[in-house]
Chain A
Amino acid sequence: GAVVSQHPSWVICKSGTSVKIECRSLDFQATTMFWYRQFPKQSLMLMATSNEGSKATYEQGVEKDKFLINHASLTLSTLTVTSAHPEDSSFYICSARAGANYGYTFGSGTRLTVV
């Protein structure tokens, strides 16, 4: 149980375009999901907390207009990187928790390359 599915696993896009990444909880409902960014050989950096039915909470230094988060249902959160630039190239990962008896489960990650 407690499976989180993330798509796509990798994407290449041109500078200036937008990219949407989906995160789904497959066998549980998640009122809260988290979005992380990870640079090579570094730990995960929390970008924002996604709350179902309300606005996301962004960490300091993360541009909310650039990284749009939508959590329209209890099983789906999306992260849209708008007007992507090469410096947005990174590994993006989502996570959610099935309940107090569970740890946080992570998606498989999305490798974004902006050219």
Chain B
Amino acid sequence: QKEVEQDPGPLSVPEGAIVSLNCTYSNSAFQYFMWYRQYSRKGPELLMYTYSSGNKEDGRFTAQVDKSSKYISLFIRDSQPSDSATYLCAMMGGGNNRLAFGKGNQVVVIP
């Protein structure tokens, strides 16, 4: 079992819809959770950073962490064509400063 599972299947949604992304993980030591957006040929851009379980909201983005289920989510409200990108989940913890990444989800928002 991989440390972080993220269904890489492309996701197409109409403009204005809610985009829902998620990752599961197996390492219970993970405490820090991140979501990144990556445009083609660019470095990943940090969208959300959360520590332990709970919700965090920033504008149209909401990140949720459920440590008991080892499950994290990212929601994008009122999606825009500019949100079309690959979204990567990443996490770390247990005294290890290395990030474990999901495979990434390609999201396409159709105008």
Chain A residues proximal to chain B, CB less than 8 Å: 6, 32, 34, 42-44, 46, 49, 91, 93, 95, 97, 102-109, 111
A5 CB to nearest chain B CB (Å): 10
Partner pick for B43 among A32, A42, A49, A106, CB 8 A cutoff = A106
Given contacts A43-B88, A91-B41, contact A104 B46 (CB under 8 A): yes
Cα distance A34–B36 when bound, in Å? 16
Cβ-Cβ contact count across A and B, 8 Å cutoff: 46
> Do residues A109 and B43 form an inter-chain contact, with CB atoms below 8 A?
yes
Partner of B44 from the list A32, A42, A102, A106 (CB cut-off 8 Å) is: A106
> Looking at chain B's contact residues, is the secondary structure mostly helix, strand, loop, or mixed?
strand
Residue pair A106, B103 in contact (C-beta under 8 Å): no
B45 proximal to A (CB < 8 A): yes
Shortest beta-carbon distance from A96 to chain B in Å: 11
Minimum C-beta distance from A52 to chain B (A)? 14
Considering the chains assembled together, what is the distance between the CA atoms of A32 and B34 in angstroms? 18
Chain B interfacial residues counted at CB < 8 A: 20
Whether B41 lies near A32 (C-beta < 8 A) is: no
Judge whether B88 and A104 touch: CB under 8 Å. no
Q: Which of B32-80 contact A (CB under 8 A)?
A: 32, 34, 36, 41-46, 48-49
Q: Which chain B residues have a beta carbon within 8 Å of chain A's beta carbons?
A: 32, 34, 36, 41-46, 48-49, 88, 90, 97-99, 101-104
Is B43's CB under 8 angstroms from A93's CB?
Answer: yes
Instruction: Assess the B103–A108 pair: CB atoms within 8 A.
Output: no
Complex Cα spacing A111 to B40, Å:
11
Min distance, Cβ B70 to any Cβ of chain A, angstroms = 19
- Residue contact A108 to B102, C-beta cutoff 8 Å: no
| Chain A residues closer than 8 Å to B90, beta-carbon distance | 103-104
Query: Would you give the shortest CB distance from A98 to chain B, in whole angstroms?
Result: 11
Closest beta carbon of chain A to B61's beta carbon, Å: 13
Supposing A103-B34, A109-B41 touch, asked if A43 and B102 sit within 8 A by C-beta, the answer is yes
> Could you tell me if A108 and B42 are in contact, using CB atoms closer than 8 angstroms?
yes
Instruction: Give the complex CA separation of A6 and B41 in angstroms.
Output: 13
With a cutoff of 8 Å between Cβ atoms, the chain A residues found around residue B102 in the complex are 43
